[in-house]
Amino acid sequence: MSLERQNEDTLLQNKLDKIKQTYLVLSGKGGVGKSTVAVNLALSLSLKGLRTGILDVDIHGPSVPKLLGITQLKVGVHEEEIIPIEVYGKIKVVSMGLLLSGNEQAVIWRGPLKANVIRQFIQNVAWGELDALVVDCPPGTGDEPLSIAQILGKKANAIIVTTPQLVATIDVEKCITFCRQLELPIAGIIENMSGFICPHCGKEVDIFSSGGGQNLARAYGVPFLGSIPLDPDIVKSGDAETPYVYFYSKSKTAQRFDEIVELIIKSESLKEYNKEDQGVIPSASATNEKTVDKDYNNLKEKGDGFMRFAVPTYQGKLCAHFGHCEAFAIIDTDGEGRILKEVFETPPPHEPGILPRWLSEKGVNCVIAGGMGSRAQQLFAQQGVKVITGAQGEYPKEIVEQYLKGTLQTGANTCDH
Ligand code: ADP
């Protein structure tokens, strides 16, 4: 190996050593929302406090700069290194679209030249220390995903984006085969444009029979990360070049991105991150998960009257929507109405019937919610779990204490559709 090549390899390795994980966002076909998902995942990771970068390796049609509203900017160069553009807090961005002098300039690189430029996107960019680098690949399984997967080596994980219509097609299968052949671990599948959020009532309507992504994931034995609804505000934000999760951070769809990111943070792929930086993730409650079940029997044995409550929350306070909350406060109390402990747990991605099963498996005896659909109430009743709806108040501990004292204010079930 020539000395020059050796130096280049060392340079690349030094860069990779500072990046904890990378996620190649892939799709079988164009138009499934891959770039939209990649940008919003990267932003959600960054909003959670992870040091995040996004690399757009779509050399012929980069769309990340447009989605982030930075098409007018160009990356800088310092001491032969590209300096990524930092936007929306701290997210670092590199794209061919930020290097070219005009968007209209045709890029005609092929094969080896393309691989070389992709290598430089890692090797010659001042990424610094990153927890996660999201890579937006062009659709399909061509040169770019292959090159970047090879360059990233062990640090590479794939996230496959599909839509309900394309889920059972050869294109998606090809994507999975591509990952398998490269021994590229699949962090999970995301079903985009799954269901429709009605702009008038905000209700989710299942127009293309969603759920195929989950079946696909099951069939191939890979994780299902969640689904993103078809949301007119995503189109609006794309057209306005304003990244969706940043500007619609309180919306149901943004919450879906958040839930997916929670799963990614908890996943095998970020195991290292979880081990080292547990305290950094603001709302991640994964670290508490095991202690609940470990302690359950001990606490239960402490005497009669032990109760385990679950309260749906958003940012630590009671959330009106049971099925779409951010986390559940799981609160244990003794027979004298004292709180023994409180932990927050992130629920699995929303799917009919999943929460009653999940909560009863955790040994919850009583759920106190603002609103809950009648189906969920029925399922809880079948599992022998008591349900209080219409609860008013803010902090879960106070709500449980009031319930036990008989002073909890309740009103109408706020979400009985
Ligand atoms: P790809 O990268 O797969 O080619 P894009 O991310 O460019 O796809 O998205 C294609 C179009 O679909 C864009 O107009 C985008 O705004 C829209 N889109 C993507 N995801 C959604 C969604 N969940 N709801 C509504 N429109 C979406």
Hunting for tokens 């993730």 — which residue is that?
281
The residue ranges of every structural domain in the chain are 3-277, 286-405
Q: What is the DSSP string of 347-387?
A: PPPP-TTHHHHHHHHTT--EEE-SB--HHHHHHHHHTT-EE
Instruction: Give alpha helix (H) positions in 201-336.
Output: 212-220, 232-239, 244-247, 252-266, 271-277, 289-300
> CA-to-CA distance for 411 and 164, rounded, in angstroms?
38
CA 31 to centroid of ligand 1, rounded, Å:
6
pTM of the model: 0.67
Ligand 1 site: residues with CB under 6 angstroms? 27, 30-36, 63, 139, 192-193, 228, 230-231, 234-235, 238
> What amino acid occupies position 81?
E
Atom 15 (ligand 1) nearest CA:
235
User: What is the sign of the dihedral through the CA atoms of 335, 339, 345 and 348?
Assistant: positive
Per-residue pLDDT of the chain (417 residues; tens, 9 = 90+): 688 888 889 999 999 999 999 999 999 999 999 999 999 999 999 998 999 999 999 988 899 999 999 988 888 888 889 999 998 878 999 998 898 665 445 555 666 677 788 999 999 999 999 999 999 999 999 989 999 999 999 999 999 999 988 776 788 888 999 999 999 999 999 999 998 877 777 777 777 666 788 888 888 889 999 999 999 999 999 998 889 998 888 888 999 999 999 999 988 666 555 554 433 333 323 333 333 444 444 444 444 678 899 999 988 899 988 888 889 999 988 877 788 888 888 898 877 788 998 998 888 989 999 888 888 888 888 778 888 988 989 999 999 999 988 888 888 776 544
CATH number of 286-405: 3.30.420.130
Query: What distance in Å separates the CA atoms of residue 306 and residue 285, rounded to the nearest whole number?
Result: 23
* Cβ contact 73:65 at 8 Å: yes
> Per CATH, which fold does 3-277 belong to?
Rossmann fold (3.40.50)
> Measured between alpha carbons, how far is 324 from 387 in angstroms, rounded to an integer?
17
User: What is the rounded CA–CA span in Å between residue 193 and residue 206?
Assistant: 10
Tell me which residue has its CA closest to atom 16 in ligand 1: 235
CA of 35 to the centre of ligand 1 (A): 7
Q: What is the DSSP letter of 268?
A: G
363: alpha, beta or left? (left if phi > 0; alpha if psi -120 to 50): left
* H/E segment holding residue 171: helix 170-182
